[in-house]
Every structure is written in C-alpha cells, then in structure tokens.
Structure 1
Amino acid sequence: MSSLDATSTAISRTHSPDLVPGYRLESLVGAGGMGEVHKATQLSLNRTVAVKLLNQQLAQDESFVARFQKEAAALATLHHPNIVSIVDKGSNASTYYLVMEFVDGPSLRERMRAPQQDAQETLRVMLQICRAIEYAHGRNVIHRDLKPENILFDVQAGDLPKVTDFGLASFLEDTSTRFALTGTHMAMGTLSYMAPEQRVDAKSADGRADIFALGLILYEMLVGELPAGSFEPPSRRKPKLDSRLDGIIERCLKQQPSERYASVTELIRDLEPLAPHYTTMRPAKLSPMQRVGRAVRKGVRILLQAVATLLVLSALGMWGIRYWHVTQKRVPMTPGDAMTGDLGIPSARESAGRLTIIEGEPRRVTLGDGNDKPSLLVSGRPLSIEDRKLVFPAVGGQSRVGLVRVDVPGMRGDTARLVAQVSAQNNEPRLSETLAQVVLDAPMPDAQVAVMLMANEPSQKRYVALVYSGAGAPIRLEWSLGEKQGTMLGPDSPEGPVELELQVDEEGALIASLGTKGDKRPILEPLQLGPNWQERRFGGAPIPAIGCIEGTCQAEKFSYLVKPLPPKPGGVVQASAPVRVETPRTVAPAPVKRPAPKPAPAPKGKRSK
C-alpha cells in the first residue's frame, strides 16, 4: 500500500489494541506515505475492518491532517462494488484514524508476479477497474495515484478487484480551500505511474492523468513490464495478443492530454469488444447415442488418470519422504530473524582491505584491495574469498544461513554510507527436489543476500537490512530497532549483480539506493532514525555485515564510511590525540651524532688573539 514517492515517514510503531474507540487492532497489514493500516475488529458488529492511522508525527502537521481528511471525504462520496468503501473516521488524543472495508485478498502487484494470466482474464479485470474510475470521475473525483499496489482483490466477493488509497484524490470542481493541498508546480503521486503533466504540476492534472495510469497498468499486465521511451506495441512482445490493443494503449499513453481518450467511458467503449462475453443460452440437447459416447469417453479418461496418478505417486513416494527428511520442510526466512538467530560460535578470518580510523575524522573500511587485513567474523555457512569477492557457496544439508560481520571497532559518527555489489543465485535443484516440489507442493525458497547494519552483538536483534532476492523479486528494507520494526517493499530487482547502498544523512534519515554513481537512485521512502542514531537505535556504533540465505551469494566492492559532523560555531572542542590504524611502515634509523673536534693548541711564544 505504500507509495515509493510519498512523503517520508517515521518508523512504524506498535500500537495498543484499544487505541481507536470501538475497535480492536489485530495486526499491521501495511504502511504507506501517511501512516499505517491495521486489520481490526469493529466491536459493535463483530466484523473485520481496516483501520488507517495517520502517522503521529504527521498528525501535528495541519497540511497532512487535511490530506488525511481529504481521503475520507473522497471515499465517503463513492459507493461502487469496485471501490473500497469507508466505514467511519475520527481522532483521539494522539492521532487521526480512518475505518474502511477490509479486503482480504492479494493486490494486483502480487497477482502480476504469479504465472501470467491469459489476455481475456486481464481484460475482464481491467474493465472492472475502468468502471470504478469512470464512476469516481462522474462524481468529480480523480485518483492521481493509480498503480497495481492500490488495486486489491476481494476473494470472498468472487475475486472482485477494488480500487483503494484515494489519499491523493482531487475534487474536479471543488473551489474551496478546505482540501487545496496541491500547490502550483508541485508533483504528487507515484513517479513510475505518473502522467507527464502530473510530474510538472499536479494541480492542473485532470481525469486524463488517470487514463495515462490505466494505460500503463494494462500494458504491464499484458507484457510483464512497464513501457519505457519509444516502447514496442504489446502484440509484438506477445504475438498472441489482439493487435487492436496496440492502438488503445498507444492512445492512453500519449504525452499530450488532449491526444488521449477524453474520458474513461470512451476507453471502456473500445475495450469491451475485446473482453470475454458470457452467454446464457441453454446448451443443445444431446441424443441418446451422444450421451452414451460422452459417458464412455469420460469413464476411460477417469480410469487412465487414476492409473497414471497411482504410478506417479508410487514412484515418487520414496523421493518425497527423502526430500522431507533432508529439508525438514523448508519455509522462507526473513533476513532479520535468520541473521540474529543462533548461528553458532563465529570464526575469525582476515581479508585484504583498507582500514583507517582517525579520531574526529572520517573512518573507512574497504574489502578487496590493501594490506591492512580487516578482521571478519563468520557465522553459520562457510565463507570463501575468491578474486576479491566474499562468497557463500552452495552447500547441502541444513546450512541455510551465512553471516559475515566486519569486526571494526570505534566506527562512531553522525553520518554513514555502506555500499556493496551483491548477487544471489538459486541452486540447481536435484531431480528428487524437483519432483517433490510438484507432488508435495514444497518449493525451495529463493536465495537472498542482505547488506546490513547490525548491533555489535547479534543477540540484541537490532538491525537494518537491504535485501536482494534475485531478478524480478522486489527489493526489501527490513528493520528491527527495539520496539520499532517494519518492512518496506521497493521496485522489482534487475538482473544481478546489483549495487546496494544504505546511507544515513546529517538529520538521521536512512536512505536506501540502487545502482552505481552514474545511475544511482533512491528506491524506498527514507527511514527516520533521528539524531544520535547510533546510540538510540543500535545501542552503540553498529557494524556492517553481509548475510546470505539459501543458494549462492556473492559480495564485492564493499565499503563502509562513517563521518562525524563538524562542531557548531562557538562550541568548545576538547582536543584528543589522533589515533591511526594502518599498515606499519619501515622507519629509517636516526643518524648518530659525533662530538665536534677540539681546536689545535696555539704555537709557543705566540698569543692567540
């Protein structure tokens, strides 16, 4: 539910169940740009609802409160089977809340990561989404943040898609200042699904900005990725698609709003002929001979299927039992739980690298080149160092987790930057594992590699981890800092290796980035750690680490830099003797001093003048 381009928020908090009067908070289901969404129970009717809490820090900002109230006002005007409905709203002493219908199902983003559906099912879903937006536009409300994460499927209502998160919605004809949150030349929304005019001036964007987002979503559902630049028509990428879709998507994605569909109604009119049609005609009556033939064919088919099933089960029974004992039904593990668990007594290793620690100046440790040989603490799986790379090779048995911590003392400072180029690759499954995956529905978890900042003692369970799980899987930021815990999902990962970066700025904001210097970009909302973040969040100076779960993991170009902020003007700074840790150097011996020669005695009979 979170928007990657939304305003940054503080760390998600754990709330008491009775925070909202009349409701009992059950569990946290998501976090967005404005706050948190909890699964809750409405006590008066004993039904499940979703409670959205405005972030407590943002609750002190009048503009954000108005934006929160605006979402409630937008939802209250909309009553449509494909739009999440509002139940209640209110406030208490600490925050504001919004109670909505609880949709117990996956998002469109999750559906798109599953095996691709056929085009007819995609068009059926898209038509329902379009009808929801057509209804909202008819009541003078535009969404302005349409994306797969904001479309949920109500499984209990027959897998009905529902549009949610109207936090950026705008009333088309509202001239009052009550909800005037979008200033001139201010961009709001999610950048990847934003119309060109919305990036420049969100206030001037009308319903055609939603049509642009609908075109992007339809292209991504059909092809599997977003169009970029001069994109190929979908029928060229997927030859089985109807070529009429090319013109529809091309018109939705015109750069000039005037060249797009004038309304969602026009878009629906062009999509409907391509969507599946369901008939209510009574099937034709079969003759007696036709009924007998159908029954015989059905009986033979069932018999053959039963025999084939028994043969496969008998052949795979022993393989399945062996696989169960070898893997003990492996389940996916989160890096935080895995790395802070019991991995045994760590072993010490040395690696080529550079280590510089000077009191009051930037402190740096790098791995790969250099003669300082920083110390590494390895836990769990064995680690090998190959051609300047840290490698957790594939292993059998139960050794699933590996952790290497760079044992660097005294890395204290106000800002920090941790960089590493990482890759994660799944192992090729053996025949027994492949068959067991099919028969026992026990797939092997994907390989994961994490760039981490950890408390000096892993048992304290304080960490921040940026996780890469291979191409196509979303990059995740996970944190557990005492009572403050949470997870954010980023964009789908590119093909590895990828360069990941965790940077803490002067104000204590942690920013996760992807890419090298020429193409580095933030991928998630900033995580607010606050001033004096090392002591407050980690209980002291954290140490950098690389973690690996499953598969084969590699890390190279590892660098960790910590800087203290310069003292404020007028402050008294107590000088301290500099301490430098580096490779010993050979010192030339000092020259030996010889006594000066005594002057010769003067000749007798003559006086010296």
Structure 2
Amino acid sequence: MPSLDVTSTAISRTHSPDLIPGYRLESLVGAGGMGEVHKATQLSLGRTVAVKLLSQQLAQEESFVARFQKEAAALATLRHPNIVSIVDKGSTVSTYYLVMEFVDGPSLRERMRVPQEDSQDTLRVMLQICRAIEYAHGRGVIHRDLKPENILFDEQAGDIPKVTDFGLASFLEDTSTRFALTGTHMAMGTLSYMAPEQRVDAKNADGRADIFALGLILYEMLVGELPAGSFEPPSRRKPKLDPRLDGIIANCLKQQPADRYATVSDLIRDLEPLAPHYYTTMRPAKLSRMQRVGRAVRKGVRVFMQGVAALLVLSAMGMWGIRYWHITHKRVPMTPGDAITGDLGLPDALESAGRLTIVENEPRKVTLGEGNDKPSLLVSGRPLKIEDKKFIFPAVGGQSRVGLVRVDVPGMRGDTARLSARVNAQSNEPTFPETLAHVVLDAPPPDAQVALMLMTTDPSQKRYVALVYSGAGFPIRLEWSLGEKQGTMLGPDSPNGPVELELSVDEEGALIASLGTKGDKRPILEPLQLGTNWQERRFGGAPISAIGCIEGTCQAESFSYQVKPAPPKPPGAVQASAPARVETPRPVAPTPAKRPPPKPAPAPKGKRSK
C-alpha cells in the first residue's frame, strides 16, 4: 500500500481551471494525504465551493478510491450546521473529485496559536463541535480523525465551527464490505489525537474513540498543549478555570473505553451548564450603531457621576494621600529578607509547646506545636498568636507591618541541617483610603509574604537565608545575605497555600530549597553552595531558625529544625571525588610524617616580632 505522506501523494503540477466540468478552479487551499483542496466557483450558481481532488497516484489504487467515495457517502448522510456539507461528487479521466461548501475562515489550529483568555468562548466552540459529533454518531458515523486541523470556523455564519474530513469515518451499523477500508489490528487516524484502542485495532473502535479525541482537543484549547502521561488537571495549570472541567476531561481521557462517557450526549450534559446560554450557539452579534451610541451615552453618564463623587472627596484626599504616602514609605523594602531582619524593636519572649533533643554528638532537633519542653521564642515587630498548634501573625494596622519570631535554642551546631514548616500568607482587604489610592494614584498595597529563615544570632550583622512564599501565582524566592555572598533566586509560581517549605544543607554545604510533602517533595531552585563548616564561615556560629511575616496574615505550623554532625571518617580514608563546586572541600588532616615544624614562641609582650 502506498504511503499516505503528503510529499509523496499530493498532486504537484498546476491544474487547468476547467478540469472539473461545471466548476472553475480558482486557487489551491491546501494539500493532504489524499490529494488537494481547491477554492472554486460553481458556474451554474456563481457560488464559491471547495473542490477536493484525489491524488492521481492514489486514483490508481482501488482501496483509496473506495476511501474517497466513503468520505462522500459519509458527508452525504449528514445535514448539520456544524458539519461541512457535500455539494457534488464525480470523476474525470484523470482523477476523482468531491465538491463541498467553502468555509472562508481559519482552522481551530490557527485559532489556538493565539492564546485565548476567555474560557467561555472555548466552551462555546467545544459544545458546537460535540453537537456535530453527537449528530454524526446518531446517523451511524464516527469521525476517527478529530483534530484542530479538521475544524474550520465559518465567520460569515456567525463564527461557528464546522467539522470536516470524514475520510476515516466508519459506519457503526454497516457490516457490508463496501466501506470496509480499516482492517483488523490496523491503526487509522492522527496519532497525537488517537484513542489507545484505535492505535491497536481501529476497525473495532467505536464512538468512544471520538470522545477521547474531544477530551484531548478541549484540554489543548484550555491549557495550550496536549496532555501527556499523568497530566495535571487544567484548573491547576490555569487557576481561573472552573474545577469541574477537570472531571469532565478526566472522564473523556480514560484509557479504557468502558470508563469514558458512554455517549457524546453524556459529555454535553456535563459541559453545557458551565457556559452561559448565549455561548451555546454562536458568539454574540456585533452591536449596531444605535446600540453603540446608547452604550457611549451610558458610559458618559457614569463618568460624570464618578466625577461628582470625586469632587465630594477632594477635601479628604489630601489627608488620605499624605497618610498613604507615609504608610507606603514605612512599609516593606524591595527585599523581604532586608525588611524582616531590619530594626523591629526589642523582642518579647514567649514559650511554646514543643520538643527539644539536644545530646552531645547526636542529632539536635527542635519542633513546635506539641510537647512539654517549652522552647523559648523571641517575637519582634508585629504581635504573634498561638492557636491550635499554629503560629499566626494576624492582620494589623498602623506602622508595624513586619513580624519576626525566632526560635531561641542555642547550641544547634552540626554539619547538616533541615528546616521545614507548613506556611501560608493572605493579603488584607484594603481599607477605603488604600482603595482610593490604588485607583487614583495607581499605588496598590504590598502583598502578604511569609519566610522560612536561618539567621545569625548577632543582631549587629545581617546574615540570613530566607525562603519566601508570597501567595498563589507569585514565584517562590530564595534570598541570602552572608557577608560577601548575597543574592536572590526566583523559583516556580506558587500553588494555593498552605504549602510545605524546606531548607536543607547537606554534608558538602549545599543548601537546597524544596516544596511539597515527603511523598511529593521536590527541589525548586538551584543549590546554594555554602561550603563546608558553613555555620561558622557564613553565619559566624550556629544560626537560629525563624519565621518572618510581611503584610497581611501569616501562619506557620509543623515547624521543625534539625542539625547533626557528619559521621567521622575512618582512619586512612580518602575523600571521594565529587562534582565541581564553588566551595573547596574540607581539608584532609596531614599525616604524622609530614607534620610541619613547631611555630616559634611568641615575642614578649609589648615587643613587635621581627
């Protein structure tokens, strides 16, 4: 059987305009595996049509001629506003042809190349495609090759989508051999949009194969790419989408046909309530001239009333503007780590339920929330509340917008460390002056941020590492200020809180920021190389763990900080090679045979050695 590749089967030479009796070929629209599609004029009616010519090479193959005739037979039985209708068919000395209505508009593939923000319009299109396939299935025809390229938009008819290319369709109830072109254990269709059972045995694939393709197309329209493997639900990829779409698409994309929707009607029943009624037929019509004038008048009245309201508050705007300017200049600096480690005043001491494990040469650990050991906390800036094992910085007004709680447990020395907590941050509802300033001055208040931190015990130095969460949709960021080593890294966009954050330092001094629980924990940023002996070199001693809050309401729970010494190396052991790092490895102690000579005695006090 000849290949279906376009380059080998498409007609390559120019055709005479009067090749088809009664029609004049105008221009080539496209080429496919079975031949070419031309824009043409039907001379008897003077209307524009599409003429599909079977490749001359394929016209010599009886099986392909039968397949071409099959497409005509399939289309001839279908009369639906969302299906391209057939006008005529026939043959010439050199080829076979099929005449269809001409759809002067882009394909769904072309539409999808421009990102669409309106999910309601996407549902409008998908409902009409589903109704076309529902109608075809009711007539005993399945499409078998549904894909964005086979869906065209008729812009003159109200921008409605129309399904075309039923060349691979098979009749559900026709058991004759007239159209039996798909053999057992033979796959037909486009691989990317093909149901699993269709890839193995296309002849026995029923209408649920089309439902699988509809699910793929809907996911791609909403998200912008085809799902693969254990794909993420669309509402996670696009948070603005209705979560009910997740279940609808999941039911379409079940691997086993029996687990999918039984019919397209069942799919439509679940999909239709998610879109406004006017989206179920066609896009809303353009406004008339009088409607546009009426809308402009209403807009003018609304602007006038807004101006009157603005005049009523002008006397207060000066005071509110000064107050807002004062607040914004006292609020968070650009770097959250600098804000949290700034001067927040004298701390207050609190005790919290928790557990302490501090044994010499053993892992040292402090947890908060449960236990009888009562670890000490130092709270600076905003007040802290402890409720139901949660540490909460509630929303506040006035000047104090930053809060810090440090876990005051000394002696947390070790070569490795792990700091983790479940955190969340929510912005406050803006006050009326803030809302007014936002609208008039374009000065929105800062967003809430919560940080998991390691920081020095010396208040005169700003040495810290902070993993900052700013709420859903904002990137997680890692900030550090460790003497000469300073910087910021931005990670992926955050999910909805609360989220599990973790900072860990391995035996070679690589600090890794992670997101998620044990079963789904993953690094989100490049490792920050602190080097060996990182506590002394970077923090000037054993750092303390802390939680910082900026703006809004912040909370943390399941707080845990653990350090432990690296296991001693056996005598004579040689350090294994490791990938190149910024920091040098821990030096190996010299052997007795190469011990350096003793240093000379220090000079007498008060004299300078020469």
Larger Rg: 2
TM-score, normalisation: structure 2: 0.46
TM-score, normalisation: structure 1: 0.46
